Amino acid sequence: MALKVTIVVGNPKPKSRTLKVAETLVEKLLVPGSYELEIIDLADHTGEIFAWPSDTMAALNERVAASDLAVFASPTYKASYTGLLKAFLDRYPANGLAGVTAIPVHTGGDLTHAMGPTVNLAPLLVELGAVVPGRGFYFVAGQMDHLDEIVSQAAAEYARNLARLAVVAGAAASHSAPVA
CB-based contact 67:30 (threshold 8 Å): no
As measured in angstroms, the least distance from the Cβ of 122 to a copy of itself is: 7
Which residues inside 148-167 make contact with a copy of itself, applying CB under 8 A?
152-153, 155-167
* Long-range Cβ contacts of 85-92 (<8 Å, 24+ apart): 85/8, 85/10, 85/42, 85/121, 86/10, 86/124, 87/49, 87/50, 88/8, 88/10, 88/42, 88/45, 88/49, 88/57, 88/60, 88/61, 89/124, 89/125, 89/128, 91/57, 91/61, 92/61, 92/65, 92/128
As measured in angstroms, the least distance from the Cβ of 40 to a copy of itself is: 15
Between 35 and 38, name the residue whose CB sits nearer to a copy of itself: 35
As measured in angstroms, the least distance from the Cβ of 61 to a copy of itself is: 13
Which residues inside 106-125 make contact with a copy of itself, applying CB under 8 A?
110-116, 118-120, 122-124
The Cα 65–Cα 72 span in angstroms is: 12
Max distance between CA atoms of the chain, in angstroms, equals 49
As measured in angstroms, the least distance from the Cβ of 13 to a copy of itself is: 9
Between 60 and 100, name the residue whose CB sits nearer to a copy of itself: 100
Which residues inside 48-87 make contact with a copy of itself, applying CB under 8 A?
49-50, 52, 68-69, 77-87
As measured in angstroms, the least distance from the Cβ of 124 to a copy of itself is: 6
Between 17 and 92, name the residue whose CB sits nearer to a copy of itself: 92
Residues touching a copy of itself: how many (CB under 8 A)?
A: 82
Between 58 and 156, name the residue whose CB sits nearer to a copy of itself: 156
The Cα 21–Cα 70 span in angstroms is: 14
Among 28, 60, 65, 150, binds a copy of itself (CB under 8 A): 28
The Cα 146–Cα 67 span in angstroms is: 29
Residue 179 binding a copy of itself, by CB under 8 A: yes
